[in-house]
């Protein structure tokens, strides 16, 4: 399996079913922190839920769809990035991320997302990559900006959480823009 360096002590690797115990332990540390910002199906509460989430992504990857990658900091799983959606026929994908509090502020998500985008545009010939986040998630919007994405709009009151509906931002970058941005 591949393991790519992100920073001195951080690596990006596929997050697979055999990581279920590690993923469950990570979710115990991250769950309440990420719950407002990620889809409810992703936030697992136990080992069976962790296994089910990893299995769901493995099946999608086998069908050339969504993919899941972990970020390890000092050999501890602290978060990850993913292709939430991946459609080679349409040349379009959506990336996402999550991170536990102890790993924030090191540029890990931005660097990991750059790796995913580079692969999507260069190796897989994608034309468009999207980023979706709650409008009040300033950290997530900042990553989209650092990746050279354009804010395309807001889906008003799209995201239900905690009895309130929140606006959802849509960001995107096109292949020619990505090539120009990375120069």
pLDDT in tens, 93-123: 999 999 999 999 999 999 999 999 999 999 9
DSSP string computed for 55-83: HHHHHHHHTT--EEEEEEETTEEEEEEEE
C-alpha–C-alpha distance, residues 41 and 52, integer Å: 10
pLDDT in tens, 62-100: 999 999 999 999 999 999 999 999 999 999 999 999 999
Q: What average pLDDT does this structure show over 137-164?
A: 96
Q: How would you label 134-158 residue by residue, b for 16+ Cβ within 10 Å and e otherwise? A: bbebeebbebbeebbbeeeeeeeee
Domains and CATH numbers, the chain: 4-182 (3.40.630.30)
């Amino acid at each position: 399996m591949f393991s790519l360096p992100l920073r001195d002590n951080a690596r990006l690797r596929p997050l697979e079913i055999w990581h279920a115990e590690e993923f469950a332990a990570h979710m115990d540390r991250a769950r309440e922190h990420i719950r407002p910002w990620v889809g409810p199906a992703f936030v697992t509460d136990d080992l069976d839920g962790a296994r089910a989430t990893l299995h769901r992504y493995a099946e999608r990857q086998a069908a050339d769809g969504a993919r899941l990658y972990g970020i390890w900091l000092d050999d501890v799983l602290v978060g990850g990035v993913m292709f939430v959606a991946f459609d080679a026929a349409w040349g379009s994908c959506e990336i996402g991320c999550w991170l536990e509090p102890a790993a924030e502020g090191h540029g890990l998500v931005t660097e990991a997302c750059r790796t995913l985008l580079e692969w999507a545009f260069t190796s897989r010939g994608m034309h468009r990559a999207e980023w979706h986040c709650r409008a009040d998630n300033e950290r997530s919007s900042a990553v989209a900006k650092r990746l050279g994405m354009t804010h395309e709009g807001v889906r008003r009151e799209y995201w239900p959480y905690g009895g309130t509906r929140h606006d959802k931002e849509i960001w995107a970058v096109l292949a020619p823009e990505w090539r120009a941005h990375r120069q």
